[in-house]
A and B are shown apart, each in its own frame.
Chain A
Amino acid sequence: MIHFDHVTKVFKSNGAPLKAVDDVELKVEKGEIFGVIGFSGAGKSTLIRLANLLERPTEGRVLLNGQNIADLSQPELRKVRGKVGMIFQHFNLLEAKSVYHNVAFPLSIAGIPKKEIQKRVKEILEFVGLADKAKQYPDQLSGGQKQRVGIARALATSPEILLCDEATSALDPETTKSILDLLRRIRDEYNITILMITHEMHVIREICDRVAVMESGRVIEQGSIFEVFSNPDHQTTKNFVRTVMQDEIPESILRMIDKHDGRSHIYRVTFIRETAGEPILSRIAKGFDVEVNVLYGQITELQGVPFGNLIVEFRGDGAEILKAIHYLQTNVKIKEVTSHAG
């Protein structure tokens, strides 16, 4: 659907050239919600702007449905842009125009007849829940409503792809959630491919299927939400995961680990998918001569599937603990924790 084929973007602004996007290789599949996360200045906006040629790649190609968009003529490119909607952090609505005319704008510049525009605008405003706001002006709307107008405008031309540049970053948590719900509905009902960039990990956790982590223009890690959240590789990724899932062992518990007497071992147990719902730990306690003590942990939900991360102390004979671990490994991921490893 969207293929960033080793794309590099260099800006040559006053003096030193700046590699805002550095050899990025990414494939976004049809109908998926793909998130790109990174700190400010990582190159996320530049990346997403490459997807509709608001920026031209310095090297590499951006393919939409196999077509290198840099090869298109201007009229062809404008046509493709009609199939790629975009929404923005600060909405970028026409302030002088009513909600109706904002949503009608992309249809009107495409030369669609008035009658059809009326029908489509009505339909799409209903979909985003703003049917009663058609005659209002942007400055009379709340942030969430403005973003709904932005979404309606982006959807007006029935795009196949929706690009979201920090679409919820200017919104409060409650409104963010309602906008994310709307985006999910858009994907589910219209099977639109969504590429979204954000610096907020909870947004990624909330609706993305896959995620890529960007740093200094490069994609340093990518994978399914599950892979990345349950087993982050890169330190930056770990830091992002930590913003939504506490997996760091608190100081007080680390001190406890330090004092262990040889009969006690401490493990990090990562439950994923089905196993998070199973009483595995109590089975260990019953089936083996091992005492189980949960020191710390959290069970959360990723893509509608439970995900748990527990710090557990096993107390007992070394051999017996090994057997218990062996049994556990068939079900969950388990790793011994030392005070230094964290």
Chain B
Amino acid sequence: MQVDLLTFWPKILEATNETLVMVGISLLFATLIGLPLGVALVVTRPNGLLQNGALFKVLNAIVNFFRSIPFIILLVAILPITRFLVGTSIGTAAAVVPLVFFSGPYIARLVESSLLEVKPGVVEAAESMGATPWQIVFRVLIPEALSSLVLNITIATIGLVGASAMAGFVGGGGLGDLAIAYGYQRFETEVMIITVLLLVVLVQLVQTTGNLLSRKIRRH
């Protein structure tokens, strides 16, 4: 059976839009959670600016916990939380919640590793000048790590594009869902190919933008 691609275009456009929305919104919230969490991991660690062994251990365990659950399981496991937060457990909005739970802790780890790349000597210099711990975080660590942070957030974004493909399970839609629903389940090879191509292009775009941005803000 031959498909009329023309009838699929609106579907593809819609799916692309859904993917962009899911990834965009999840990225926003995941970063809002991941960035402070990553900073907290850095400052509370042993010999950190505000070292706090107990807090560090707790945060570290939480991040590891979420990082160890496969997304597809997380998606189902937190359905009650999703329902509580967005009022529904189905649709694009419902897909965002597990994506944030999935990506936030991941971003926290990436932020942590970016901030740890800043030479301890630079932090020490700032301390010797009388900087407060918060000045060191906001005026030394983050600005110095910004270029690396952008690269790492780029990686997280691409991870989100991948994870969002599974959003079909909660009716989240998106390109991945389209590929599975039509390409895999109905053997519409062309649809499959087109969606996959679109995903490839999307990932390339994200990576290229991230690289450019990272290079541009290396000095600021």
Contacts and interface: CB of A to CB of B under 8 A. Distances in A.
Interface of A: 52, 54, 74, 77-82, 84-86, 88, 90, 92-98, 105-106, 108-110, 137, 153, 157, 163
B91 interface: no
A157 B143 contact: no
A54 B121 contact: no
A93 B219 CA distance: 13
B131 A96 contact: no
A79 B131 CA distance: 10
Contacts, number: 73
A137 B219 contact: yes
B144 A81 contact: no
A106 B121 contact: no
23 contacts: A54-B128, A78-B131, A79-B130, A85-B128, A85-B129, A86-B125, A86-B128, A86-B129, A90-B119, A92-B119, A94-B122, A94-B140, A94-B144, A96-B143, A96-B144, A96-B147, A96-B219, A105-B139, A108-B139, A109-B126, A109-B132, A137-B219, A157-B130
Interface of B: 119, 121-122, 124-132, 135, 139-140, 143-144, 146-147, 217-220
A62 to B, nearest CB: 14
A148 to B, nearest CB: 15
Nearest to A157: B129
A96 B220 contact: yes
- Please name the 4 residue pairs, one residue from A and one from B, whose CB atoms are nearest each other, closest first: A78-B130, A81-B130, A92-B125, A92-B121
B122 A93 contact: yes
B143 A109 contact: no
Contacts of A85: 128-129
B141 to A, nearest CB: 11
A92 B144 contact: no
B147 A106 contact: no
Given A78-B130, A108-B139, 16 more contacts: A54-B124, A79-B130, A81-B127, A81-B129, A81-B130, A85-B128, A86-B125, A86-B129, A90-B119, A92-B121, A94-B144, A96-B143, A98-B219, A105-B129, A110-B130, A137-B219
A163 B124 CA distance: 13
A9 to B, nearest CB: 15
Contacts of A81: 127-130
A52 B128 CA distance: 7
Given A79-B130, A106-B130, A109-B131, A95 B144 contact: yes
Nearest to B145: A96
